[in-house]
Amino acid sequence: MEHSPFTVGNEGRQVFWNAEFFEPFLFLFTAVALAIFAYGVYRRWQLWVAIGKPEQRMDHLRERVQSLFVNGLLQWKTFQEPYPGIMHGLIFFGFFVLIFGAAFDATEFHIAEPLGWAFLRGTVYIVFSFLMDLFGVAVLLGVLLAIYRRYIQKPDRLGYQGKPDNTPDDAIALLLILGIIVTGFIIEALRIRVTCPPWEVWSFGGWYLAKAFACVDIGTTKVLHKLTWWTHTFLGLGFIAYIPYSRLIHIITTPANHFMASLQPVGAIEPIRDFETAESFGVGKLEEFTSKQIFDADACTRCGRCQDGCPAYLSGKPLSPKKLTQDLKNYWLEQAPAAVAAKKAAESGSAAAEGAVAPPEEKTLVGGTIDLHELWACTNCLYCQENCSASIEHVPKIIQMRQYKVLTEADFAPELQLTFRNIENNSNPWGIGSHLRADWAKELGIPTLAEDPNVEYLFYVGCSGSFDDRGKKVSTAFAKILKAAGVSFGILGTEEGCCGDSAMRGGNEYLYQTLAQANIEVMKGYNVKKIIATCPHGYNALKKDYPHFGGEFEVLHHTEIIADLIAKGKITLKKPVEGLFTYHDSCFLGRYNDIYDQPRNILKAVPGLKLTEMERNFEKSFCCGAGGARMWMEEDIGDRINNMRTDQAIATGADRIAVGCPFCLTMLADGIKDRKKEEAMAALDIAEIVWKSMDLEEEKPPVEVCTV
């Protein structure tokens, strides 16, 4: 072996060793790769801005940078799942350090060293060299994990309906990274084989690999080194150039999407604001989405996390949020070039340019690219959005396309037409006379706000709590708890209207806005400040969507109030409620409003009650199937979602399902019936369990106290 040019204490390595002659060519090829990269980004940029309405996503820079840092740089969302999180983390952080290291090295060589400031020497070099090898190994491991997962393990999420959706692009991206790392280690090994400085033991990857070349003579080693050096260089530069033309574009689009993520409250839906002037409502054409909504699709990494917990997909319906996003992306990629050409023609005023790119064959967005069964299968459970590692917003798009079908085309399911008609006529989905809305409370002596406008809380009962037999029992139990705790509250009685959640999520934004505005007017008329709701759908609408129309209230869910009353000792749970309970997280309570602990804390406070968890819980809970207006629609494709959730509850061995939502209560009670488990199992609202444990009924029923 040749002598090293460095002495111990001045450890380092010669940059461009054995490749001094190549330096100018490297600059040239780097410039070419960067030019191809820049051109690709420019072309993509043209496509991003070609279609779509403008949307402000550059405000609140502090929050946006924070989102970019947490999710883009620290990969917070990606790390929520161990295998894919670690796999992606190894590749991402490894590559990040290697690129940073290469830039550091280049800066030292081209700028610092000529100025006499060389710093990659001695201990600094040893640490640097060790870290570069360590992170190189990390990337290698990450890529091998990715290859194993995609091509051997083949989880369903990396496909659609049991078939993998791998593309050549996936393989090219992985092989490029693998090639860069492997050739990097080989170059290092060949250099060490020739120069053999003892401190290179810290470059452990190359050091041990060098032993494999021990029997190769120096001349051949140098030739091999040159060849590998060029291979490594072309793979690295090829990787850079390939980014904008491949799935690697997500290196740019995904962090950008985190930066532009919605800063609205989780799950809030932007209302239609131009009913008076608009000719079409919702989104029926691609250009009716905003540019950001279209950009969303380009940020999708096809990781499939969204699909993994989508109740529609898992129950065999033709909806997968991943597929929907990819279908939108492909549709945009088909449509956008013609839009770019048209834009250029308009700018240049050249009629000839207009035909430069022929518009693609006419294909509709809603009903064509997005199948109608797909569109209507969504329960708005928000699993996709909350679990998406790219901050993609699926649900607003689905609602907007539904708006188009309902408001522009008046083409939607007959059962939903009946529901809307019932709401229009009687302000409840069942169509029961609105004059009966407060009948459940007749015997309870609850004041209406007309009778006592000075109460502290408005109990917004909602349609289920007012008209559904099971819901009425929950309203009664909750009202009795409030009375026993001495809480000052009242109801709106027949002045209350449907919250409009089902109308809005079913695409009838006009009906929803009418209902919301009417409720807000009544509430404001009584100077309402604080509202309690037992239904998470009403709770969510009042809390997050009513502020769009000036309805600013402090809105609480009944589990929040009950948990607080227990914590403050205002109610005492004394009677044991025996049984093994499992708590079902309502989507509109959990994922939408982050209420996970209060219901569980209440149940834990009930004497005798044992609590067990279903496999899918908290943020990853499984929907009951009723959200997004699905409560009122037939479910004739695939399995029934409520039955699937009931099966998950049955699997825990529990004999009771506790819920905090009247829709979930109905769906799970139906599931129990369908599974013929009525003898062994029941679904109960938290308020019913608490009232039972308070054990006050026989002693002094609130109804008697108030009606004497």
Contacts to ligand SF4 by CB under 6 A: 300-306, 310-312, 319, 321-322, 325, 378-384, 388-390, 392, 394-395
**Structure tokens of 343?**
């834009």
Least Å from the CB of residue 47 to ligand SF4:
18
Residue whose CB is less far from ligand SF4, 319 or 516: 319
In the chain, the largest separation of any two C-alpha atoms, in whole Å, equals 107
Residue whose CB is less far from ligand SF4, 257 or 434: 257
Going by C-alpha positions, the residue among 75, 105, 104, 89 that lies closest to residue 254 is 75
Residue whose CB is less far from ligand SF4, 182 or 310: 310
CA distance 113 to 120: 9
Tokens 């409009």 belong to 500
Residue whose CB is less far from ligand SF4, 33 or 312: 312
Least Å from the CB of residue 630 to ligand SF4:
8
CA distance 405 to 268: 21
Least Å from the CB of residue 313 to ligand SF4:
6
Least Å from the CB of residue 401 to ligand SF4:
12
CB within 8 Å of 684: residues ≥ 6 apart? 656, 657, 658, 659, 665
Measured CA distances, 557 to 447, 457, 541, 590, 686 (Å): 20, 12, 12, 11, 11
Measured CA distances, 594 to 81, 455, 474, 496, 621 (Å): 19, 28, 22, 27, 12
CA distance 41 to 23: 27
Measured in residues, the chain has a length of 708
Least Å from the CB of residue 392 to ligand SF4:
4
Residue whose CB is less far from ligand SF4, 303 or 336: 303
**Structure tokens of 527?**
């100077």
Residue whose CB is less far from ligand SF4, 314 or 520: 314
Pairing, β 163-164 against β 159-160: antiparallel
CA distance 465 to 460: 9
CA distance 636 to 638: 7
| DSSP bridge partners of 580 | 610
DSSP 405: I
Least Å from the CB of residue 590 to ligand SF4:
13
Burial-class residue 252 by CB neighbours within 10 Å (0-12, 13-18, 19+): middle
Least Å from the CB of residue 559 to ligand SF4:
22
N- to C-terminal Cα separation, the chain:
105
Least Å from the CB of residue 293 to ligand SF4:
13
Pairing, β 530-533 against β 579-583: unpaired
Tokens 């279908």 belong to 327
Residue whose CB is less far from ligand SF4, 174 or 181: 174
Q: How many CA atoms lie within 13 A of 303 on its CB side?
A: 28
CA distance 113 to 686: 71
Residue whose CB is less far from ligand SF4, 393 or 655: 393
Residue whose CB is less far from ligand SF4, 387 or 693: 387
CA distance 164 to 156: 7
Tokens 């994990």 belong to 145
Q: Ramachandran region of residue 269, left (φ > 0), alpha (ψ -120 to 50) or beta?
A: beta
Count other Cβ atoms within 10 Å, centred on residue 670.
Answer: 18
Going by C-alpha positions, the residue among 281, 512, 282 that lies closest to residue 397 is 282
Residue whose CB is less far from ligand SF4, 310 or 416: 310
Least Å from the CB of residue 308 to ligand SF4:
8
CA distance 77 to 75: 6
**CA-based radius of gyration for the chain:** 31
Residue whose CB is less far from ligand SF4, 176 or 626: 626
Residue whose CB is less far from ligand SF4, 94 or 304: 304
Least Å from the CB of residue 163 to ligand SF4:
16
Residue whose CB is less far from ligand SF4, 373 or 574: 373
Tokens 């005492």 belong to 572
Least Å from the CB of residue 59 to ligand SF4:
23
Least Å from the CB of residue 157 to ligand SF4:
8
Count other Cβ atoms within 10 Å, centred on residue 361.
Answer: 6
Least Å from the CB of residue 87 to ligand SF4:
14
Least Å from the CB of residue 296 to ligand SF4:
8
Least Å from the CB of residue 378 to ligand SF4:
3
DSSP 448: B
**Structure tokens of 173?**
């991206």
Residue 299's φ and ψ, nearest 5 degrees, are -90, -10
Residue whose CB is less far from ligand SF4, 86 or 201: 86
Least Å from the CB of residue 304 to ligand SF4:
5
CB within 8 Å of 548: residues ≥ 6 apart? 270, 271
Residue whose CB is less far from ligand SF4, 493 or 536: 536
The CA-based dihedral angle spanning residues 503, 527, 490, 425, taken in that order and rounded to the nearest 10 degrees: -30
Kindly provide the residue ranges of all beta strands, DSSP E only, lying in 380-466, ordered along the sequence.
457-460
Residue whose CB is less far from ligand SF4, 57 or 620: 620
